Structure 1
Amino acid sequence: MDVFKDYLSSIDSPDHRLRMEEILSWTADQFPNLEAQIKWNTPMFTDHGTFIIGFAAAKHHVSVSPEEAGIAHFTDDIACAGYSATSRLFRIQWTEPVHYELLERMIQFNIQDKADCSAFWRK
């Protein structure tokens, strides 16, 4: 988690910083095979050099990006969780619970779907 230290320290709100640290730690603990990285000032996790999922702190929420394929595959689940979404990300308001089961399924989907992917992003 040292890779995220500077990013986390840049989050002004102690509550938001703690929440982001919780999400990043959970991801690292659940998926120890993924590499934690900062790219484009965004905390993310990769597998064999390909993007799996990214998280970013915003003023009112955490943005979660599993790429467009991840959003499309889980559109109904994202809506059922009560999260708002675009084609590339969904938002967890700071006051909302984190649906870790959904995150786990998204990450597993991306790991499996991108097992043979040699590029960083899907093409």
Structure 2
Amino acid sequence: MVSPEKQSALPQFMILIYEREVPESVRAASPTVIEAHLRLPRQIAETGGRILAGNAMRPASTAVSVRDNTLTAGSLAEGAHSLAGYFIVEASDLDHAVWIGRMIPVADGWVEVRPLLLD
């Protein structure tokens, strides 16, 4: 549980990154994409937002899916794109979070911005 003095007044959002191909290692990503991601915290802070957490995901083939107590190797999501990473950010509102999402470099895919339920 987060103490009241550590809670932010800003809403939180999850930004999901979907890509066609996910490298096995972050080090396999292009230097341009890595450099752009390294600049993100400063760029987002300049807009009044803040990154709280984030990470790249291993390929969908490494996932284990659970549905109705049945385990399946790999992701159940269909299509050529898979979840490649995420950020949890603080932003003033959904429009601000979408603006932040547009700053995230994506080679061949998209981002999805969703408000978090924090009651």
Q: TM-score, normalised by structure 1?
A: 0.30
- Larger RCO: 1 or 2 (CA < 8 Å, sep 6+): 2
**Bigger helix fraction:** 1
Please say which structure displays the higher CA radius of gyration: 2
**Bigger strand fraction:** 2
